[in-house]
Amino acid sequence: MLLVLLALAVRAAPAERVLRVAYNEDVATFDPDDAILLFGLDAVRVLYEGLVQYKPGTTEIAGWLAQRWSVSPDGLTYRFILHDGVTFHDGRPMTSADVLAYFKRRRHPTLPLSYFLDGVDSMSVPDPHTFIIKLKTPQPAFLDRLASPWAPKVIGPAALVEHAGGDLGVTWLNDHADGTGPFMLAEMVRGQRYVLVRNAHYWGARPYFDRIEILIVPTMNQQMLMLQRGELDIIEHGYPFDQLDKVPAGLKVDAHDALGLEIAYFNRSKALRNRAVRTAVITAINPARWLHEVFGAFATPARSLYPKAMIRGPAPVVFPADLEAARRAIAAVGGVTLEIGYADQEAPVQQRIAEFMVSLLKGIGVTATVRSIPIDQESSMVNDLQRAPDIFIAQDYPDSVHPATQTGVFFETGAALNFFGYSNPTVDALCAQASRITSIAERDRQYLRISDILFADGAFVPLADIKDVIVYRAGLTDLGTRPALPWAVDYGTIRRQ
């Protein structure tokens, strides 16, 4: 009798399974409608769940809150059948009414990610398990939008009703979470750490870990030390590329294709107004000349203005190769001075790329300086092109795997990351057209044509497909990475062997 009790006692208190990760800085919020940055998505996706998601390691779409779905032949009506027994973190059951209430919230124009539901005509819930979205016009990319890491993910009534607080719960959701996901937000001490604990009521598969501790560690050196000492389990982003070939024993490297394409944006209102100069500059900054030094085996020259996981172009982009002609072109205008800007938050890597470019440009007679652009100034560069840098380099991610989200984020008139305000109605029309094509092969051909036009126009220069690299302690497996999910492992699936 005593032995049984003892055994029970031992069984009843297994050691808590903790996973420790690090962020460089605080997140603004985990609110899925308000969180627009690239990091923190790992936490968002285990706190909240969307209708559909990408399967791990692929660009295929699978169900999530929706167990199955159908699209009407005219492409306008999407019908989602929801899982049974889904509960929010506080235990309340989720019904289609909750989903509708949430989607309505998502559409509110004050929320930055409301554009995901542009083109939605109406939404309805015929019964507690069914959720119907009707579009105004067919959107072949719609399902990809719903699978995006930034897609709508259902927030519960605790946030939207009880703690709405007059701003749709935005303030409350800065420090709290109310979703359906396998983890709950237990602690949020800004500047120090966030703690996610396992949701005991989770409707789906039980995750391996009981606790995820997210530590705020600003310097990469510190993160690397902690990883070595076992105080961290994973570094999801930022491990120096030149040290990936000599990670200490006990650590492993996971490098997978992702959607982060390195692009050089040209400001064509200053020194680069001249086409011959642009061509000369492009000749000099050919990624083949510096890619290996910076990334080693972890990047390849771009094949088009789309990441290769999105559209695999037939061959790497062909850059002009005549350096002599480039030199002559620069000499012909009496020398050129350029400023290269880079995204500050990715400083070490981007600065290195920029300085390699400076070195190569010097070879053709161009004098260049380098300037870091803080993230809050990126979107205002377009307002004052004369003071903005001549070239801006950045590695950014589209919303999802569908090319329409690439052009819509980068190349179309008024796009969010169209840094220098490039506007070409022909291209816009072609993009609109291509977005309606359902045949994947046909669509890809169209999009590649757009890429050629843009490159020929000298506004966007595709540089490199850079792999997402995750360094983790040996023994961890089922990381659950996805090309569309930047800088993140899936805390729902990851486990220790």
Partner 1 sequence: MPGLEAAAICMLFVITLIAIIGPWLAPADPVVQIAAPYQPPSLRYLFGTDEIGRDMLTRLIYGVRLTWLPSLAVIAIGVVVGTLVGAAAAVAAGIVDSMLARLTELFIVIPSTMIALAAVAALGPGLWHTVAVMGVFWWPWYARIVRTEIKTIATRPHAEAARLSGVAGLRLVLRYLLPAALPSLLVTATLDVANVILVLSLFSFLGLGAPAPAPELGAMTARSLASLTTHWWIPILPAVAIFVLVVTANLAGDGLRSLMKTV
Q: Pairing between strand 391-396 and 336-343?
A: parallel
* Residue 363 near partner 1 by CB under 8 A: yes
Residues of span 165-224 touching partner 1 by CB under 8 A: 219-221
Instruction: Provide, rounded to whole angstroms, the least separation between the CB of residue 283 and partner 1.
Output: 16
How far is the C-alpha of 376 from the C-alpha of 353, rounded, in Å? 21
Q: Which is nearer to partner 1, 114 or 345 (CB)?
A: 345
Among 70, 269, 359, 377, binds partner 1 (CB under 8 A): 359
**Whose Cβ is closer to partner 1: residue 331's or residue 347's?**
347
Paired tokens of 58? 């692929």
Write down the least CB distance from residue 221 to partner 1, Å: 5
Rounded-to-integer distance, Cα 376 and Cα 450, Å? 29
Q: Looking up tokens 């027994």, which residue turns up?
A: 85
Give the residue with the Cβ less far from partner 1, 219 or 383.
219
Q: Which residues contact 210 (CB under 8 A, 6 or more apart)?
A: 16, 17, 18, 197, 198
Residues 214-233, one symbol each (x = binds partner 1 by CB under 8 A, - = not), give -----xxx------------
Beta bridge partners of 470: 254
Nearer to partner 1, 267 or 407 (CB): 267
To partner 1, the closest distance from the beta carbon of 435 in angstroms equals: 40
Q: Whole-number minimum distance, CB 348 to partner 1, in Å?
A: 7
Query: How far is C-alpha 51 from the geometric centre of its chain's CA atoms?
Result: 18
Residues in the chain: 497
Output 299 or 430, the one with its CB closest to partner 1. 299
CB of 271 to partner 1, least distance (A): 16
How many residues sit close enough to partner 1 to count as binding (CB under 8 A)?
Answer: 23
What pairs with residue 62 in β-bridges?
Answer: 53
Please, which residue, 360 or 391, has the CB nearer to partner 1?
Answer: 360
Residue 175 beta carbon to partner 1: minimum distance, rounded to whole angstroms: 32
Other beta carbons less than 10 A from residue 88's beta carbon = 24
Nearest residue (CB) to partner 1, 85 versus 348: 348
Please, which residue, 187 or 355, has the CB nearer to partner 1? 355
Separation between Cα atoms, residue 295 and residue 241, nearest integer Å: 6
- Which of 45-53, 352-360, 443-451, 463-471 is the region at the interface with partner 1 (rule: CB under 8 A)? 352-360
Phi-psi region of 421 (alpha: psi -120 to 50; beta: other; left: phi over 0): left
Which one of residues 188, 370, 434, 476 is an interface residue with partner 1 (CB under 8 A)? 370
Single residue of 355, 428, 457, 478 touching partner 1 by CB under 8 A: 355
Q: Buried (b) or exposed (e) across 56-70, using 16+ Cβ within 10 A?
A: beebebebbbbeebe
Q: Which residue stretches of 38-168 are H helix?
A: 41-47, 96-106, 142-147, 157
CB of residue 22 to partner 1, shortest distance in Å: 16
The structure tokens 């295929």 sit at: 60
| Rounded CA Rg of the chain | 24
Closer by beta carbon to partner 1, 172 or else 342: 342
- Tally DSSP H helices, then E strands, for the chain: 15, 21
Q: How far is the CB of 467 from partner 1 (least distance, A)?
A: 20
Query: One symbol per residue from 320 to 349: x for binding partner 1 (CB under 8 A), - otherwise; what is it?
Result: -------------------x--------x-
CB within 8 Å of 42: residues ≥ 6 apart: 21, 236, 485, 487, 488, 489, 490, 491
Tell me which residues in 233-252 interact with partner 1 (CB under 8 A).
240, 242-243
**Out of 351, 435, 446, 451, which residue is the one contacting partner 1 (CB under 8 A)?**
351
Judged by CB under 8 A, which of 371, 436, 495, 496 binds partner 1? 371
Whichever of 286 and 351 has its CB closer to partner 1, that residue is: 351
End-to-end CA distance of the chain: 33
Among 245, 293, 442, 452, interactor with partner 1 by CB under 8 A: 293
Using CB under 8 A, which of 190, 362, 445, 449 touches partner 1? 362
Angstrom distance (rounded) from CA 26 to CA 139: 35
Tell me how far CA of residue 190 lies from CA of 7, 33, 121, 210, 234, in angstroms. 41, 20, 40, 21, 20
* Pairwise CA distance, residues 64 & 202, whole Å: 13
Complex with partner 1: residue 360 or 454, whichever CB lies closer: 360
Q: List residues near partner 1 by CB under 8 A.
A: 219-221, 240, 242-243, 293, 339, 348, 351-352, 354-356, 358-360, 362-363, 369-372
